[in-house]
């Protein structure tokens, strides 16, 4: 493997772990050990741990406490970079897992039979894991689907495709706009970058020679670095970010930049682009195109004037263009007049199948998202709420937000409280409006104590207060649904 190939692979994997998509780091694992020791009777010798292999080669993990209350949480994990370890995972972090087990809940989850955009394999593998649980433990009185990131879209897909198997769902930081919309929105940002900053970069058909995905990513990152060094380049990078609503807040434990601090917002968006989003856009898109059998994204008919006006970042872009002495109108006109990209219809059908949402909810759903998420932007929640509303099922959906930067950057306390809000809805048959208010959520999370109110920063657990907040995401720019 070449130096650049290693850099691309490990840079992506490192970014995913740092943003909550990979396995828990050493600080959380060590804290879990200390936490478990204080509840030894439940979380060590008393918990039955079951593993196995499914018919397609995926593995599964099941944990059942001795005081099992009959409820099972089925966890769907996030995106795993091809070539990275892919173990079965039954909870997002070990502290949350210890708490849920101590409270009598069983946990289960599978590895999925492949990595990457593995929704095609994940959906049946998760159901096969439920079947294994039924055989080896017994049928749960109720099963709740939950998961992070790509696992959030899988969670929502499970209740849509297998409604009879679940009582409720908790998609967290989920790709809830669906597959087609997600990659179309990414294409808009890539297209602006290509047209205005780096014409040599390939934005689709990355799997087709002579394009090399690693070289494609390297070239995009080098061009972005050069653009970031000038006011004109920063303005154009901000425009590319605005077309997928990238927030101007990157580091989880940092303060949010002021609403009019456009320079700081753009600097944070640059971090999102080069550290996280570019690897998906210019490198890992190749994995998706290989699965789909072609390019599933298009921008024919897109009006970039209209989409920028609707973007959460519009004011920032306008201010940076003015400061740089550039004509925003001219650049948008250039985008609108450029040759457009068409999709392969068969590839679109694949991505629509894996997966797009019809909005019909068979069970109560609670979603949770950080507002400073630049990989899966919080506007995904607006897209999902919109299709649910059109299907007439809004009474079954509630959405909560955490005021923190980062992808899936939740504390164990915030996650446990979200799970219990959903459980309360299942137990009572109605949503408790008071419990869903941010002050109530924050008070309940804080009451769980310092062990759970932590966030992993590098190899250190940092005391972190709960940060639920009222938030209304702007409109998702390129919606697509059934």
- The predicted pLDDT at position 207 comes to 85
The CA distance from 310 to 304, in Å, is 10
Q: Could you tell me if residue 415 is inside a domain?
A: no
- The predicted pLDDT at position 209 comes to 86
Structure tokens at 67: 């005081």
- The predicted pLDDT at position 211 comes to 87
Q: Could you tell me if residue 162 is inside a domain?
A: no
| Local structure of residue 164 (DSSP, 8 states) | G
Helices then strands, counting H and E runs in the chain, come out as 20, 11
Q: Are 101 and 67 in contact (CB under 8 A)?
A: no
How many domains would you assign to the chain? 1
Query: What are phi and psi for residue 118, nearest 5 degrees?
Result: -95, 30
**Length reported for the chain:** 482
The CA distance from 456 to 31, in Å, is 10
- The predicted pLDDT at position 5 comes to 43
Q: Could you tell me if residue 469 is inside a domain?
A: no
Query: What are phi and psi for residue 254, nearest 5 degrees?
Result: -95, 155
Q: 287-330: per-residue pLDDT in tens?
A: 999 999 999 999 999 999 999 999 999 999 999 999 999 999 99
Residue 141: Cβ-neighbour burial (10 angstroms; 0-12, 13-18, 19+)? exposed
Q: 370-405: per-residue pLDDT in tens?
A: 999 999 999 999 999 999 999 999 999 999 999 999
Q: Could you tell me if residue 35 is inside a domain?
A: no
Q: Are 396 and 367 in contact (CB under 8 A)?
A: no
The region that residue 179 occupies, defined by phi over 0 for left and psi between -120 and 50 for alpha, beta otherwise, is: alpha
Q: How many CB atoms lie within 10 A of CB 48?
A: 13
Nearest by Cα to 288 from 149, 114, 161: 114
The CA distance from 332 to 336, in Å, is 6
Torsion of CA 402, 408, 409, 410, to 10 degrees: 60
| Local structure of residue 131 (DSSP, 8 states) | H
Q: Are strands 142-148 and 59-64 parallel, antiparallel or unpaired?
A: unpaired
Bond prior to 355 in cis (omega within 30° of 0): yes
Whole domain around residue 326: which residue ranges?
Answer: 180-351
- The predicted pLDDT at position 32 comes to 52
Q: Could you tell me if residue 256 is inside a domain?
A: yes
SS3 at position 177: coil
Q: Are 172 and 101 in contact (CB under 8 A)?
A: no
- Buried (b) or exposed (e) across 193-220, using 16+ Cβ within 10 A? bbbbbbeebbbbebbeeeebbbbbbbbb
The CA distance from 322 to 182, in Å, is 30
Bond prior to 172 in cis (omega within 30° of 0): no
Nearest by Cα to 412 from 175, 247, 122, 172: 172
Q: Could you tell me if residue 225 is inside a domain?
A: yes
Q: Are strands 397-405 and 365-372 parallel, antiparallel or unpaired?
A: parallel
- The predicted pLDDT at position 26 comes to 60
Nearest by Cα to 365 from 350, 347, 384, 379: 384
From first to last of its 482 residues, the chain has per-residue pLDDT tens of 343 443 444 444 444 444 444 445 666 655 555 444 333 333 456 999 999 999 999 999 999 999 999 999 999 999 999 999 999 999 999 999 999 999 999 999 999 999 999 999 999 999 999 999 999 999 999 999 999 999 999 999 999 999 999 999 999 999 999 999 999 999 999 999 999 999 999 999 998 888 899 999 999 999 999 999 999 999 999 999 999 999 999 999 999 999 999 999 999 999 999 999 999 999 999 999 999 999 999 999 999 999 999 999 999 999 999 999 999 999 999 999 999 999 999 999 999 999 999 999 999 999 999 999 999 999 999 999 999 999 999 999 999 999 999 999 999 999 999 999 999 999 999 999 999 999 999 999 999 999 999 999 888 999 999 999 999 999 999 999 86
Q: How many CB atoms lie within 10 A of CB 42?
A: 18
Q: What is the pTM of this model?
A: 0.93
Q: Could you tell me if residue 157 is inside a domain?
A: no
Q: Could you tell me if residue 16 is inside a domain?
A: no
| Local structure of residue 105 (DSSP, 8 states) | -
- The predicted pLDDT at position 210 comes to 86
The answer for residues whose C-beta is within 8 angstroms of residue 399's C-beta and 6 or more apart is: 366, 367, 368, 369, 381, 385
Nearest by Cα to 204 from 118, 290, 273, 271: 290
- Helix locations, 176-230, DSSP H: 179-196, 213-228
């Amino acid at each position: 493997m070449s130096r650049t190939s290693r850099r691309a692979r490990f840079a992506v994997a490192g970014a995913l772990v740092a943003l909550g998509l990979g396995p828990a780091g050493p600080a959380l694992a060590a804290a879990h050990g200390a936490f478990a020791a204080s509840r030894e009777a439940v979380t060590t010798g008393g918990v039955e741990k079951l593993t196995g292999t499914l018919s397609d080669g995926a593995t599964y993990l099941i944990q059942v406490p001795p005081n099992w209350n009959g409820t099972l949480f089925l966890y769907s994990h996030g995106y795993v970079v091809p070539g990275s370890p892919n173990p079965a995972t039954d909870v997002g972090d070990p502290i949350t897992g210890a708490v849920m087990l101590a409270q009598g809940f069983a946990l289960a989850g599978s590895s999925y039979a492949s990595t990457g955009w593995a929704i095609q394999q994940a959906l049946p593998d998760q159901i096969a894991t439920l079947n294994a649980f039924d055989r080896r433990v017994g049928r749960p009185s109720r099963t709740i689907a939950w998961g992070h990131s790509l696992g959030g879209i899988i969670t929502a897909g499970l209740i849509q495709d297998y409604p009879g198997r679940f009582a409720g769902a908790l998609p967290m930081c989920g790709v809830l706009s669906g597959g087609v919309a997600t990659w179309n929105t990414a294409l808009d940002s890539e297209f602006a970058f290509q047209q205005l900053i780096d014409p040599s970069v390939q934005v689709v058909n990355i799997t087709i020679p002579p394009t090399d995905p690693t070289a494609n990513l390297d070239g995009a990152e080098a061009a972005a670095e050069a653009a970031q060094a000038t006011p004109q380049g920063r303005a154009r990078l901000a425009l590319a970010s605005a077309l997928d609503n990238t927030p101007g807040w990157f580091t989880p434990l940092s303060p949010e930049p002021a609403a009019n601090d456009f320079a700081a917002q753009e600097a944070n968006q640059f971090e999102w682009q080069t550290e996280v989003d570019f690897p998906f856009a210019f490198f890992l898109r190749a994995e998706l195109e290989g699965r789909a059998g072609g390019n599933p994204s298009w921008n024919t008919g897109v009006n970039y004037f209209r989409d920028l006006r609707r973007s959460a970042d519009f004011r920032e872009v306008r201010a940076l263009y003015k400061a740089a002495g550039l004509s925003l109108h001219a650049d948008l006109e250039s985008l609108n007049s450029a040759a457009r990209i068409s999709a392969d219809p068969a590839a679109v059908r694949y991505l629509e199948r894996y997966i797009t949402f019809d909005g019909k909810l068979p069970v109560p759903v609670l979603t949770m998202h950080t507002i400073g998420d630049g990989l899966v932007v919080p506007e995904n929640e607006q897209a999902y709420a919109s299709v649910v509303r059109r299907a007439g099922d809004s009474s079954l959906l509630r959405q909560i937000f955490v005021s923190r930067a980062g992808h899936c950057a939740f504390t164990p306390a915030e996650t446990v409280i979200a799970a219990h809000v959903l459980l309360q809805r299942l137990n009572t048959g109605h949503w408790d409006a008071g419990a869903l208010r941010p002050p109530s959520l924050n008070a309940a999370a804080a009451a769980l104590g310092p062990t759970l109110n932590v966030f992993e920063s590098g190899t250190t657990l940092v005391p972190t207060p709960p940060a639920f907040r009222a938030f209304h995401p702007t409109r998702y720019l390129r919606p697509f649904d059934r």
